[in-house]
């Protein structure tokens, strides 16, 4: 068994691999093996890897399985103590792996962790996709230390301490292979978006812990596959978030949260329509419709998830409404939130 497998999932990302893979190879430890799992790319990704990066191990998948099932299938073929799921558009820093490995080696109760995620385009700012560790409000809206909705903070070292979080970003996620397998991995139906939050939430229900370790930091381009304000991204985010809530919420919270979300989702849909974002309006309505259509299939899945539950009190799920704090109270920084 290898110590660490760095696994980059790729789909038509030859340009990103050319730009960032040399950096990963140069700055990763000798006990880490770099893999690229290719989701049946139609560009020259595979030829590029074979010709210019022969030290990288290739895992060739038969079609584009998306982020969730792509990683599930790739990791089945890799035997390592730790997996590091790394986006192809991430620039790593010197010695980025050591703080993560050392923390995981010394904290066996921790299933997964992430580094501090900074913007590759504005290196003094956090990056949207995970910043410095993630949380949820009571209605399932994700936010991070360093990012709430579209407001991203400048990194002034204000979150430079290890902290337990609800979820770690899938852009750079270190996870014990044993925990990944025990949890069942990613929900393949998600395809992309919210899959890492769902996985981390399930791990938390199982009594495992998730941390952010900012002594390690990387730089993320972001939006490489689907840019922001893309209706497909809107659809996946809304649909998958609803499925995640249905699976993981306790019985005592499920009905009232889902009723509130139905109202909030349609408010968001009509706001999109009124502001001229017709694509987003259609995406949200379709997400609600497909969630309802898929619900019968998720009854059994929810039952299995709830049977794994070892605790009711999950660190990182706050009781407040993030929408209220952000839009009404004007609290746009994590440090400004009233968490009690």
Alpha-carbon distance values, 311 to 244, 253, 306, 318 (Å):
17, 14, 10, 16
Average pLDDT over residues 280-306: 97
Q: Which pLDDT score, from 0 to 100, does residue 313 have?
A: 81
**pLDDT for position 225:** 46
Q: Please give the average per-residue pLDDT across 193-203, as a whole number.
A: 97
Is residue 227 very low, low, confident or very high in pLDDT (cuts 50, 70, 90)?
low
pLDDT band at 11 (very low <50, low <70, confident <90, very high): very high
Residues 6 or more apart whose Cβ sits within 8 Å of residue 320: 137, 138, 337, 338, 339
Beta carbons within 8 Å of 50's beta carbon, 6+ residues apart: 58
CATH number of the structural domain 2-220: 3.90.550.10
User: Domains of the chain: which residue ranges?
Assistant: 2-220, 231-310
pLDDT band for position 223 (cuts 50, 70, 90)? low
Return all residues near 313 (Cβ < 8 A) that are at least 6 apart: none
Contact 104, 208 (CB under 8 A): no
Question: Can you give the pLDDT at residue 318?
Answer: 95
pLDDT digits (tens, 9 = 90+) for 265-288: 999 999 999 999 999 999 999 999
Percent of the chain with pLDDT over 90: 94
Asked whether the whole model's pTM tops 0.85, one would answer yes
Work out the average pLDDT over 24-40. Answer: 95
């Amino acid at each position: 068994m290898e110590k660490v497998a760095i696994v980059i999932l790729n789909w038509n990302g030859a340009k990103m691999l050319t730009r960032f893979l040399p950096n990963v190879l140069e700055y990763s430890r000798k006990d880490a093996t770099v893999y690229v799992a290719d989701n049946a790319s139609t560009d020259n990704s595979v030829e590029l890897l074979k010709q210019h990066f022969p030290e990288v191990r290739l895992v060739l998948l038969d079609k584009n399985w998306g982020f969730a099932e792509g990683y599930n299938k790739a990791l089945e073929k890799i035997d390592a103590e730790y997996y590091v799921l790394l986006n192809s558009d991430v620039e790593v820093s010197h010695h980025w792996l050591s703080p993560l490995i050392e923390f995981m080696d010394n904290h066996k109760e921790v299933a997964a962790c992430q580094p501090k995620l900074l913007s590759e385009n504005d290196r003094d700012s956090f990056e949207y996709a995970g910043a410095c560790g993630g949380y949820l409000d009571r209605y399932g809206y994700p936010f991070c230390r360093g990012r709430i909705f579209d407001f991203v903070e400048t990194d002034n070292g204000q979150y430079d301490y290890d902290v337990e979080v609800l979820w770690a970003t899938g852009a750079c996620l270190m996870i014990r292979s044993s925990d990944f397998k025990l949890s069942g991995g990613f929900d393949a139906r998600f395809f992309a978006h919210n899959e890492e939050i769902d996985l981390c939430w399930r791990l938390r229900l199982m009594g495992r812990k998730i941390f952010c370790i900012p002594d390690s930091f990387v730089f993320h381009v972001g939006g490489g596959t689907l840019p922001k304000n893309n209706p497909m991204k809107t659809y996946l985010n809304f649909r998958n978030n609803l499925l995640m809530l249905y699976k993981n919420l306790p019985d005592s919270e499920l009905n009232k949260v889902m009723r509130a979300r139905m109202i909030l989702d349609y408010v968001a849909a009509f706001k999109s329509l009124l502001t001229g974002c017709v694509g987003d309006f259609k995406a949200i309505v379709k997400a609600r419709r497909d969630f309802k259509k898929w619900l019968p299939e998720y009854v059994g899945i929810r039952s299995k998830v709830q049977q794994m539950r070892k605790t009711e009190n999950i660190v990182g799920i706050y009781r407040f409404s993030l929408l209220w704090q952000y839009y009404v109270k004007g609290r746009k920084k994590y440090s400004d939130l009233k968490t009690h």
